[in-house]
Amino acid sequence: MEEQRVRGHGPVRWWRYGPPWWDRPDDAEPRAARLPWRSTVLFTGVVMVGSNFAAHDQPHRVPLDGYARVLLLAASVLLLWRHRHPVFVAFGTAGVTLVYLGAGYPYGPVFLTVAVSCCTAVADGHRRAAWTAVGLLWAGHVLIALWLYRLLPPPGDAGGTIGQEIVIATWVLAIGALSELARVRREQWVRERADRAQAARRRADEERLRIARELHDVLAHSISVINVQAGMGLALLDRDPEQARAALTTIKAASKEALGEVRQVLDTLRAPGAAPRAPAPGLDRLPELVEQAAGAGLTVAVEGTAPKLAPGADLAAFRIVQEALTNVVRHSGSRHARVRLDGDAATLRLRVDDDGPATGADAGGSGNGLAGMRERAAALGGTIEAGPRPDGGFRVLAVLPLRTAAEEDDR
């Protein structure tokens, strides 16, 4: 309702959008589609009123009459189309101004229309046309002031001098320089805005990939455990109800943990920049991962101890181990896996092995999980090697730096 009231025919709408009989384009349309009527009204007032004051100080020139005011009004009204047709308006204002001066009328703010139209043309990229229009106006003025003044009004005009024309040329160059400065600043602003938009899109893409990776790792592992336990529970439901009950208990625990981690990921979407409600998982939760794998029928042996890691590296290491064990559960016939942790002062080596054999054509994973592991490692400056072992089975080897390049620079 407020939007409709403001866009009615009251004074607010007049000031914002122009008179009601003018069609105002939608806000989504480009600037060139809009008529700059407010600034044009301001320029017209300055030209008309200023010319009257200037005429009082130039009694030797032809007094302002109706024809002079028509020329002043025509030069000013042309500014309405300076964004739509900048070249035409630049030459039009220059031509009208030259006719005005040739008729012997007083000097004054009529030059403002030429300056505004040429500045707009230069800012819109029509530099040659703007400089040509200004040059023709100056050349015409030189011709009138130095040679044709005897044939044109007012009678008895003494004409101009070379020095006066040089001063006028200096002003023309100054206006042109300001126009070029405005053009350069506008192009720089456009580039900066495009760079900011591109950076924002890149950040959004990176965040989307990060969230997709997190959701894939959480859901793939938990659903794999749930799938194995559900199959076991169905097979044992009639002949061994206690084992079926244990399988259902594991399903409940896995689904609860998955929901908690998914909720943690989604919380970052609801409140960007807010601190998570629970700490991100790391290698300190490796025993829980081993226990979940055991619930899916996979025995995991862990060797070695991981050094203290930064939160980002700790999360990446945990997710890599989680995804590797998930692939063993889903794609390997082996019910045994080995996780080995080796660390030194610079790197952490994670190795996950199983003895196979593969149970399907997509052994080792369908591709998304391995791609996610590689992205996590690459984000930290590390590497991932994944593939069949020469003696059978499958191996995932991750090498992660303990410090990122940014942390090294800070040191």
Query: What would the two tokens of residue 166 be?
Result: 């040089």
Q: Tell me the residue type at 7.
A: R
Taking a C-beta distance cutoff of 8 angstroms, is the pair 114, 134 a contact? yes
CA-CA distance, 122 to 174, in Å (whole number)?
Answer: 14
Q: Tell me the residue type at 269.
A: L
Specify the 3-state DSSP secondary structure of 193: helix
Taking a C-beta distance cutoff of 8 angstroms, is the pair 230, 202 a contact? no
Whether the model clears a pTM of 0.85, i.e. scores above it, the answer is no
Query: 230: closest CA among 211, 244, 209?
Result: 244
> Tokens 């590296």 map to which residue?
313
Task: Specify the fold of 283-411.
Answer: Heat Shock Protein 90 (3.30.565)
Taking a C-beta distance cutoff of 8 angstroms, is the pair 373, 323 a contact? yes
Q: What number of CA atoms fall less than 13 Å from residue 378's CA on the CB side?
A: 8
Specify which residues 395 forms β-bridges with: 353, 387
Taking a C-beta distance cutoff of 8 angstroms, is the pair 108, 83 a contact? no
Q: Is the peptide bond before 19 cis (omega within 30 degrees of 0)?
A: no
Q: What is the pLDDT along the chain (411 residues), one digit of tens a residue?
A: 444 444 444 444 444 444 443 444 444 445 556 789 999 999 999 999 999 999 998 988 999 999 999 999 999 999 999 999 999 999 999 999 999 999 999 999 999 999 999 989 988 889 899 999 999 999 998 999 888 888 888 887 777 788 888 888 888 888 788 888 888 888 899 899 999 999 999 988 887 887 777 777 777 767 777 777 787 778 777 788 887 777 787 777 777 777 777 777 666 666 555 555 556 788 888 888 888 788 777 889 999 887 888 888 888 888 899 888 888 888 888 889 999 998 887 889 999 999 878 775 454 445 567 887 888 888 888 999 988 888 888 999 999 988 654 455 555
> Tokens 């960007």 map to which residue?
272
Taking a C-beta distance cutoff of 8 angstroms, is the pair 75, 93 a contact? yes
Question: Where along the chain do its domains lie?
Answer: 2-197, 283-411
- Confidence (pLDDT) at 274: 53
Query: 55: closest CA among 132, 154, 141?
Result: 154
